[in-house]
């Protein structure tokens, strides 16, 4: 049976305690991260949350702050490679537009993953007040289809119309329609709250325009979830079994602390072996894992890799393994 886990990005996407309970009820382990480094949780639910961490049901991943999102995600992926069992399928839930990069990086390293995109928390509140036509209605209404086409085109431009006349001309030019039809479409853009009018001046409501432009009319398209509750409904929940698989996590006391001294001694042996290899040290994370499994077949190599990464002895940047000089100074 394939192991399953959830990777939850908390940036602009803080779930309720009840939603976390729902996820933990179905998944043996939930990984959390926030590249901004912030984590807020109510005092009322903090005790229960800390118990999830102590039991290893919730694992908070280390993050790094960088102007390059690829670097931040590489730190996440490196930890997952050390923590996940082979063939584990990961459900990613994120409100970040860059989360597809995380998905691609995980898949490139051999991690099976699926992305569930949600609206950022603030945007979800605002958009929840806005009712847009259903996909079925848009498909059957020619004028709504033209509104959709115009939104797709105008969302890609930087210089948008700012007056009613320029908006009418823009609609006519983009959709190739007569002035009378363009005037009707301008009225629809205003009524649908895509455009806000101030006498003869107008501006576009960015979040509403974005929602229209991101709307996928093809039936096979995966819709963007409005909120975390919608995301939970999209999860491919594993069947509940009597005995849940024990997750390999750094927060499970019975696994980590019981063998802590043994792990430290093993680290010293690893450093010695890698030092002997000199320039022949593996650059690929999988090659390093395979080498360590050959050298120390009775050891928990995934836990060992996690410890080496946490202590800064090795670092994986998404492409190759980097070895710290501290490894050979100790």
The distance in angstroms from the start CA to the end CA of the chain is: 42
Question: Is the CB of residue 52 less than 8 Å from the CB of residue 17?
Answer: no
Q: What is the DSSP string of 37-56?
A: ------HHHHHHHHHHHHHT
Q: Do 282 and 177 share a structural domain?
A: no
Query: Is the residue at 241 inside a domain?
Result: no
Q: Quick one: DSSP state of residue 258? A: G
Instruction: Give the chain's domain count.
Output: 3
Tens-place pLDDT, residues 221-256 = 444 455 555 666 666 655 544 444 444 444 443 443
Tens-place pLDDT, residues 252-310 = 434 433 433 444 577 777 777 877 887 888 888 888 888 888 888 888 887 778 777 77
Q: Do 206 and 299 share a structural domain?
A: no
Q: Do 76 and 209 share a structural domain?
A: no
Domain with 181 in it = 129-214
Q: Do 103 and 42 share a structural domain?
A: yes
Tens-place pLDDT, residues 127-148 = 445 678 888 888 888 999 999 9
Report yes or no on whether pTM surpasses 0.75. Answer: no
């Amino acid at each position: 049976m394939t192991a399953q886990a959830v990777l939850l990005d908390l940036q602009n996407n803080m779930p309720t305690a009840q939603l976390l309970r729902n996820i933990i009820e179905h998944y043996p382990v939930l990984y959390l991260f926030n590249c901004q480094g912030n984590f807020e949780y109510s005092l009322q639910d903090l005790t229960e949350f800390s118990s999830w961490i102590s039991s290893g049901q919730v694992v908070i991943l280390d993050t790094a702050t960088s102007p390059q999102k690829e670097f931040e995600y590489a730190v996440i992926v490196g930890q997952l490679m050390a923590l996940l069992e082979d063939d584990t399928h990961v459900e990613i839930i994120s409100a970040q537009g860059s989360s597809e990069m995380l998905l691609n990086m995980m898949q490139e390293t051999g991690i099976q993953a699926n992305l569930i995109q949600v609206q950022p928390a603030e945007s979800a509140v605002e958009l929840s007040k806005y009712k847009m036509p259903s996909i079925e209605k848009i498909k059957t209404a020619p004028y709504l289809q033209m509104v959709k086409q115009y939104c797709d085109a105008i969302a890609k431009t930087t210089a948008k119309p700012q007056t009613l006349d320029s908006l009418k001309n823009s609609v006519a030019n983009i959709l190739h329609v007569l002035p009378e039809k363009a005037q009707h479409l301008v009225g629809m853009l205003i009524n649908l709250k895509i455009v806000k009018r101030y006498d003869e001046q107008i501006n576009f409501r960015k979040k509403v325009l974005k929602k229209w432009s991101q709307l996928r009319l093809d039936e096979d398209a995966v819709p963007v979830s409005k909120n975390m509750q919608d995301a939970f409904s999209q999860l491919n929940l594993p069947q509940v079994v009597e005995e849940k698989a024990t997750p390999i996590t750094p927060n499970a006391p019975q696994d980590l602390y019981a063998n802590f001294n043994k792990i430290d001694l093993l680290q010293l042996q690893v450093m010695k072996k890698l030092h002997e290899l000199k320039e022949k040290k593996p650059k690929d994370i999988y090659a390093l894992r395979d080498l360590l499994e050959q050298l120390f077949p009775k050891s928990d190599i995934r836990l060992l890799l996690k410890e080496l990464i946490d202590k800064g002895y090795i670092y994986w940047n998404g492409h190759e393994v980097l070895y710290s000089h501290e490894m050979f100074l100790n």
